Amino acid sequence: MYVRVMSGVAVREAVSAVRAAVDALAACDLDLLTRPELVAALDELETLGCQLPAVRHRLLGRLQTETTPQQMGAKSWKEVLSVRWRISRGEAGRRLTEAALLAPRQPITGPALPPALPATAAAQAHGLINDEHVEVIRKAINKLPG
């Protein structure tokens, strides 16, 4: 998978472009779309919805190497996420677990290591699987003998 190196400014601009695109889509009149157009739009949105968690995993992984929960004003990463994003601690834990498995791993020294589940991470980054699929794969992997 090709990953373009981007500065902080480029990442902010890309996130702003995604927000602008979502706002533009939300403002669209959908009443005149044909059934094939509706299905095509829904298919694309499903793929994008599958891809976005892969980006979040990478961002969370980097955040965890750059700071601590205490520096973020919390006792744990679950607390950081649940308070900041107003999600349950369970959902925060699920996201952190997935990020730990699907984001590139940051060793103390040396270059980043591939994700613990590289094929799953690649499939999600390409929009081929969603959070539900990841959960099934994660549970299956956990049941495998050491």
Kindly state whether residue 124 falls inside one of the protein's structural domains: yes
pTM of the complete model? 0.85
The answer as to whether 75 is a domain residue is yes
Answer positive or negative: Cα dihedral of 55, 58, 60, 66.
Answer: negative
For residues 105 and 3, what is the distance between their CA atoms, to the nearest angstrom? 15
- Asked whether residue 142 is assigned to any structural domain, the reply reads yes
User: Is 139 within the bounds of a domain?
Assistant: yes
Chain segment 77-131, per-residue pLDDT in tens: 999 999 999 999 999 999 999 999 999 998 888 888 999 999 999 999 999 999 9
Residue 2 confidence class, pLDDT cut points 50, 70, 90: very low
pLDDT band at 4 (very low <50, low <70, confident <90, very high): low
Q: What percentage of the chain has pLDDT greater than the value 70?
A: 96
Q: Which residue range is the domain that position 62 belongs to?
A: 55-146
Tell me how many helices (H) and strands (E) the chain has: 6, 0
Which residues, in sequence order, are bridge partners of residue 99? Answer: none
Distance CA 29, CA 32 (A): 7
116 is written with which tokens? 């613990």
How many structural domains are present in the chain?
1
Note whether 138 and 57 are within 8 A (CB): no
